Structure 1
Amino acid sequence: MILTAAVSGCAVGPNFNPPAVPDVNGYVPGKLASPAPERDGPRVAGQHFVTGEDVSARWWAAFKSRPLNELVRQSVDHNPNLQAAEAAIKLARYNAQAQRGLFFPQVTGNSTSADFLIANPGQVPPIPTTGPQSQYTLVTNQLAVSFVPDIWGGNSRAVESLDAVTEQQLFQLEAAYLSLTSNVVTAAIQEASLRGQLEATRRIIAIERNLLEILKRQFNAGQAAKADMLAQEAALAQAEELLPPLEKQLAQQRNLLTALAGQLSANEIVEKFDLAHLRLPANLPVSLPGKLVDQRPDVRAAEANMHAASALVGVAIAARLPNIVLTANGGSAAYNFAQSFAPGTGFYSLAASTTAPIFDGFTLYNKQKAAEAALEQSEAQYRAIVITAFQNVADALRALQTDARAVQASVRAEVTAKASLDIVQQQLSAGQVNQLAVLNAQQTYLAAAVIRVQSEANRLSDTAALFMALGGAWPTNCTTPDWRQCAMGEPPNVIRAADAK
């Protein structure tokens, strides 16, 4: 890396400079306010934004769930997408090393044996021949050396581009790691939400069955109409219809978590999740905008892509300039292999040639323009990714600011609906209420209970989304092949590959 940087200083083409950090102080207009529930509402867990604090490397541990920590570890160890990203780094690194080989002379050797037939051997002394025709063998051993000086820095720029591609693949690994850990956490929260919805639905079904039994007793006693009993049976059936879709979603969610852990669906994971065992993180770090640009792997990958495109402009310019090729050939020739090493059989040649494109139908010119257009494209893509990154953070912050009030409202609605249903149930037992009021109370409580579960799950998911939007946290001293232990919190014993070049 140091050699490449030194040589590229005099290479043709633009020298790459990292883009400037966006000149903003925050992600949303005005001062960032922490999530605040209403003071006169039900008590819900609070959260607080900590501006300027970095995200923890093991951010998912903030949910205080041992099964979640274990599942994340399994996923990082066995997910094939991460393994593919590691292989992509090796591929890019070997391509860069192969390009570096052109800084050195290229040496090839060959040994040939050719048979010749002489029609008039008397005219070709000193070959010993007999008769009007003779056949002889000529053995040639040859060593060829060629070298193309990198006078315009074209190869240096090519190496620079491939090094940037290697760095880009490293950031792609970080992005795959962040995406995987975020998907595992989000999928676990969704499983917990589905279990909560199933529990709420089963609770409602139990209540509706109890109400149906009351109506049946009243009907048998002549105190209730058959229509009311049938209406309650229909309401019970409708509630029971909600169970199979939820059970199907839960089963599919288990399959998703198993796949994220790198396992086949038949080998289902043992970890199970419910909302009661997922703690809502109280303190939420909000990295500074400059830190975001330096931490988001997709932004860093886009920057590396710009670097690669910038270097390719220099490669295209160098291809349009005159070039020098130095060649040397040496060897020996004799009439058999043993004699080819005897004194007096050697030969050598030295040559230098200069080539320059004169007219190629503007092919090289258009290739340079294409490389410059690719650089413009990568710059625009970088800006778009930065804008999206800031939008992701802003969306997560806004969601969290409203989630507290949404949970509070859903809790109030569930408590109120349950109290109303209890009153209606008592009135039904006393024969003081009609069936329509019973059905309305049941439906209201069912909807409120499910919405309360979904609201709590949304708040957990939006918290995970904030960690992901901020780029997670990849320790700066992590590298392959032991990056897993480092990223999961174990001390590394080597420095990061990108910093070692």
Structure 2
Amino acid sequence: MTRPVARHAAIATLLLLSACAVGPDFERPIPWWNPAAWFSDPSPAAGDASEAVAEPVDPHWWRIFGDPDLTRLEQRLGDANLDVRVAGIRLMQARAAVGVAQAAGLPSVNGNASYTREQLSQKGVLSLSPGANAASQANGLPGAGASVQNPGLFAPFDLFQYGFDASWEIDFWGRVRRSVESADASLTAAQDARRDTLVTATAELARAYVQLRGVQRRIEITRQNLGIAQQSLVLTRQRAVGGLTTDLDVANAAAQVSSTASQIPPLEAQQAQLINAIGFLLGEAPAALAGELVPPRAIPPVPPRVPVGLPSELARRRPDIRRAEAQLHAATAEVGVAVADFYPRLTLSASAAVQGVQFRDLADWGHAGTYALGPSVTLPVFEGGRLRRTLELRQAQQQEAAVLYQRTVLNALHEVDNALSAYAAEQRRRAELERAVAQNRRALALARDRYAQGVADFLQVLDVQRNLLAAEQQLTDSTTSVSTNLVQIYKALGGGWENDFPETPPAARQAVL
């Protein structure tokens, strides 16, 4: 075989070997659930005012409430939320890690320059040469040899040097490629972690907003009932002056006023806490949003039709499922890295330098130059079991990632199923409470008329007032729960991350730089 043919054959062999990668290849898990329908039937039941339908989910799902204040707050979330900003910075870190992994497959070139003042040992290895022995005798030192050939051999001298070193590890077994594959998968996991943070933050903001409006409605109801109790107290006092009732009824009426008024301060404290919760999600100081959120608004109503998509879309929509899949991919690639460590490593090295005992010698490349070029092979022979244990560790981590993926999928299915069930059940409860409130209002009107006519005692009026207040508060809580359950549905579906929020806000970038 001629030399050019041999060279080409060697190059072809290197390329062929470098194209392979040891270790398992990642295969995307196949969903094991039934993609045709949800486990809970999202079709409306009797009395439901809103039905879940298998239609595409709107990425801006909070718009279905028709509340401009909520929409405005959600639009501020991507830039302001600190958890989202932290997730964006972690995404930047993952991108940098990919670059680090990719750099391992490229040649490494380093320049160097040095100056040293040196003197060789007269008792060292050079003293064994005949010329060195002669030089030693000439200087009065013991030694045997020929005549003096280099009397300045052991004199101090200057050494100037500059050059470069280069090395490149040929990725025969795909160790570097598996490392890059793992870093890429970790980058995908970081992207989906940020998306999951967005899903959680948007849902928490919507839930806190709905709860705030629910508390404000409870405050309004309590104040209305306080007004009714105060009217009853005035009426009772008038009847007592006329001798138509006793002081006991007056005391009961006054107690009802105080009892109703005592319910307002805790509700106002809860209102302040929810405003602060919204402010925290938006990166604001305590009470910073009080001016725009203290004025009461209606509880955001649910729409007649709620798009929930198809079960087959869940694995692609839920960021936590996507993240678990990416983590499984990264763990699988790390197994390949551990397997490749068992194989030899071939490194091509080269160095070139210019040396001289005088500074002007550095310009004389022809006589002062030196170089080295050649391959080196490193083969692990004994590592004390480190490589085997590392492989076992990576395989166990891959198995853990596979189980965590299954757990994430199962948890997602349960969350969607529970959210759909709770949404339908709470609507039925709200319908019953609406009827109860209507009956209690009618009963209060009748009781007050009977009391004014003197055919009923005041205790009946008090009982009906308490029942009405409790029923109205329960109705408010149920209306709030219906809307928050709808928020939970969209959180369980993984909606909201598709929005064009910046991955890392400018403030976060400046903080990193």
TM-score range, shorter chain: 0.7 to 0.9
Contact 2:198 2:497 in 1 (8 A): no
Q: 1:71, 1:271 within 8 Å by CA — same for their partners in 2? A: no
Q: C-alpha separation between the residues in 1 aligned to 2:501 and 2:255?
A: 61
What is the alpha-carbon distance in structure 1 between the residues aligned to residue 482 and residue 17 of structure 2? 53
**Which secondary structure state, in structure 2, belongs to the residue aligned with residue 12 of structure 1?**
coil
Taking only aligned residues, the RMSD between alpha carbons, in angstroms, comes to 2.5
**Out of 422, 431, 442, which is 1:408 matched to?**
431
1:337 matches 2:359: yes
The TM-score with structure 1 as length reference comes to 0.88
The 5 Å alignment of 1:40-439 reads: 46-51=49-54, 53-117=55-119, 123=135, 134-268=155-289, 270-272=291-293, 274=296, 276=298, 278-342=300-364, 343-439=366-462
| Contact 1:141–1:333, Cα closer than 8 Å, also in 2 | yes
Q: Indicate the SS of the match to 1:278.
A: coil
- In the superposition, relative to structure 1, how do residues 8 and 58 fare at CA in structure 2: closer, same or farther (>3 Å)? farther
Counterpart-to-counterpart distance in 2, 1:438 and 1:147? 92
Contact 2:202/2:496, CA 8 A, preserved across alignment: no
Q: Which residue of 2 is the match for residue 497 of structure 1? A: none
In the aligned structure 1, how far is the partner of 2:497 from the partner of 2:383? Answer: 48
How far the C-alpha of 1:267 sits from its partner, in A, is 2.4
Matches of 1:126 and 1:57, distance apart in 2: 89
Identical amino acids, percent of aligned pairs: 26
TM-score, normalised to structure 2, is: 0.86
Task: Give me the whole-angstrom Cα distance separating, in 2, the residues matched to 1:187 and 1:480.
Answer: 23
Q: Please list every run of 5 or more consecutive structure 2 residues that lacks an aligned counterpart in the other structure.
A: 1-15, 123-131, 137-147, 507-513
After the TM superposition, which segments of 4 or more aligned residues of structure 1 sit over 4 Å from their partners? 6-9, 118-122, 124-129, 478-484
Question: Per-residue deviation at 1:138?
Answer: 0.6
Partner AA of 2:310 in structure 1 = L
SS at the partner of 1:344?
helix
Distance 2:486 2:466 in 1: 30
Partners of 2:217 and 2:298 within 8 A in 1: no
Letter in 1 for 2:38: Y
Provide the rounded CA distance (Å) in 1 between the counterparts of 2:262 and 2:316.
50
Partner-residue secondary structure (3-state), 1:276: coil
Correspondence for 1:26:
37
Aligned partner letter, 1:27 = W
**1:16 counterpart residue number:** 26
**1:67 to 1:55, Cα distance in 2 relative to 1, 3 A:** same
d(CA) in 2 for partners of 1:221, 1:266:
50
Rounded Cα–Cα distance in structure 1 between residues aligned with 2:335 and 2:150:
58
AA of the residue aligned to 1:221: G
Over 3 Å counting, the alpha-carbon distance change for 1:70 and 1:126 in structure 2 is farther
Hey, what's the Cα distance between the residues in 1 that align with 2:460 and 2:283?
Answer: 51
In structure 1, what is the equivalent of residue 127 of structure 2? none
Which structure has the larger Rg? 2
Q: CA deviation at 1:382?
A: 0.7
Question: Are 1:189 and 1:275, in contact at CA under 8 Å, matched by a contact in 2?
Answer: no
Q: Is 1:36–2:46 an aligned residue pair?
A: yes
Change (3 A) 1:271 1:63: farther
Q: CA offsets per residue over residues 199-218 of structure 1, 9 Å max, x none?
A: 11111111111111111122
Distance 1:123 1:467, change over 3 A: same
Task: Choose 165-174 or 255-264, whichever is displaced more.
Answer: 255-264
Give the letter aligned to residue 211 of structure 2: Q
1:452 alignment partner AA? L
> For structure 1, which runs of at least 5 residues remain unmatched after alignment?
1-5, 38-44, 485-501
Contact 1:8 1:157 in 2 (8 A): no
